[in-house]
Amino acid sequence: MRVITADQGTDEWKQARVGVPSGSKFSDIMAKGGGASRATYLTALALERITGVREEFKTTFAMEQGTEREPFARSAYEAHTGQFVTEIGFCMHDTLQVGVSPDGLVGDVGMTEYKCPMPKTHLEYLRLEPGKCPSAYRWQVQGQLWVAEREWCDFVSYNPDFPENAQLIIRRVMRDEKAIKELEAEVVKFLEDIEREVDFIQSYKDAA
């Protein structure tokens, strides 16, 4: 694992991610049948590599609230588990041009992923079985375990609007080698597809 030590959200951290497939979008790469989300993400990264400019995304109220609440989620997790969480920047795979931004590392083998969702979603997460995370985040979590070389990830959901007993949930997700091999194979294909798109765009000449 190669680590870009810049704090998450800084200009240096954003620049390190230009043209690089990252964990939060692994589900798009794994879209069944190479869906529209995969094609959209592929095009965005190809253009980032050509221009050197990262595509900016509009934030919603829910996203902004989640970012504001994340430090409180981390503190609640540390208080509940007695574990200290180490924040980290952008983690790059040792050999592939792909990276992840874990929300924190725990000891030598663990990590954390925080979500601070709206009440309806948090209530859904309260019903998660032990060892499970929402299917929407399966590839993000397994991808982080892959790139960061960790054994488990505590998926954490936090919402202070709930009563104290239901504000925090923790589901430990173990490393799934079969899923990681599947993800790695698709990421390699995706990287090859990006290169082909970059070559096509840069060499294009109108035939008219």
pLDDT in tens, 32-75: 766 688 999 999 999 999 998 887 767 777 777 878 889 999 99
Q: Which residues pair with 106 in a beta bridge?
A: 85, 110
Please count the other Cβ atoms lying within 10 Å of the Cβ belonging to residue 77.
Answer: 22
Q: What pTM value is reported for the model?
A: 0.90
Residues of the chain with pLDDT under 70: 33-35, 57, 208
pLDDT at 57: 66
The domain spans of the chain are 2-203
Distances (CA, A) of 48 to 53, 54, 115: 5, 5, 27
CATH architecture, range 2-203:
Alpha-Beta Complex (3.90)
Helix (H) or strand (E) holding 70, with range, is helix 61-81
Residue with tokens 């990830």: 153
The amino acid sitting at 79 is: A
Q: Distance between CA 157 and CA 93 in Å, rounded?
A: 27
